[in-house]
Amino acid sequence: MSTPFDEWFGRRRTNSWFPDVDAMMKEMEKLMQDAVKNMDQNVPKNLIRERKLDDGSTVRELGPIVYGYSFKIGEDGKPIVRKFGNLNTFPSSLSGRFAVSDQREPVVDVIKDVDKLKVIAELPGVTKGDLRITANENSLSIESVSGERKYNKKIELPDKIEPSSGKSTYKNGILEVTFKLKDSKDHGVSINVE
């Protein structure tokens, strides 16, 4: 019995005007086919389930496997792209396999205001008590320490913040953490030269 992967990878191009491109495509297809075949070897055991069908056969399921990007334009007009999910999309150069983690990177957005910085993270499936949030002047770490779903993300902040000013709320899977920006007018303490 062939699978959809076998059918997709099994396609052959004929009578091409670009034989070098075809050879490269065949090589990439082989690498992808090997990576997909070996994917379940790199999936954490808690993401593999088996269930019985009505006909008595057993089906093996992997997941959830989550992968995506969030995209926005920054204040400087340059794009900001952030990855989220639990799939490392670049196969290991040694094994040619994808890596799946049991911890997901949540979707995160950082919004800068005149005097404050707000971080919004989507963390569905966890409770307020599952979350651990730590911050320093330059970064914020979000982690779920218990529960069925695990999240972990360290966010490098665009400006320095006052970590002690942090206030957070968590409702319906959305975490909002707000900080005051460090006063950029404070240039330090004047020191007399002797």
Same domain, 86 and 126: no
Same domain, 111 and 180: yes
Number of domains within the chain: 2
Same domain, 68 and 127: no
Task: Answer with the residue of higher pLDDT: 93 or 193.
Answer: 193
Same domain, 29 and 94: yes
7-39 pLDDT, tens digit per residue, is 555 555 555 677 788 888 888 888 777 766 666
Same domain, 137 and 123: yes
| Residue 38 pLDDT | 63
Range of the domain at 148: 106-184
Q: What is the pLDDT confidence band of residue 77, given thresholds at 50, 70 and 90?
A: confident
Same domain, 44 and 88: yes
| Residue 105 pLDDT | 84
Residue 148 lies in a domain: yes
Task: Answer with the residue of higher pLDDT: 78 or 142.
Answer: 142
Boundary residue ending a domain (81, 101, 121): 101
Same domain, 72 and 117: no
87 within 8 A of 152, measured Cβ to Cβ: no
| Residue 72 pLDDT | 74
Same domain, 110 and 131: yes
Strands 150-156 and 116-122: unpaired
Q: Residues of the chain with pLDDT > 70: what percent?
A: 73
Task: Answer with the residue of higher pLDDT: 167 or 193.
Answer: 167
Residue 23 lies in a domain: yes
Cβ-based neighbour number of residue 193 at 10 Å? 3
Same domain, 140 and 173: yes
Boundary residue ending a domain (83, 101, 119): 101
Return the minimum-mean-pLDDT range out of 36-40, 100-104, 128-132, 149-153: 36-40
Distance CA 25, CA 8 (A): 13
Q: Which of 157, 108, 103 is nearest to 126 (CA)?
A: 103
Boundary residue ending a domain (85, 101, 117): 101
Residue 167 lies in a domain: yes
| Residue 150 pLDDT | 86
Distance CA 179, CA 167 (A): 7
Residue 189 lies in a domain: no
Same domain, 126 and 150: yes
Residue 31 lies in a domain: yes
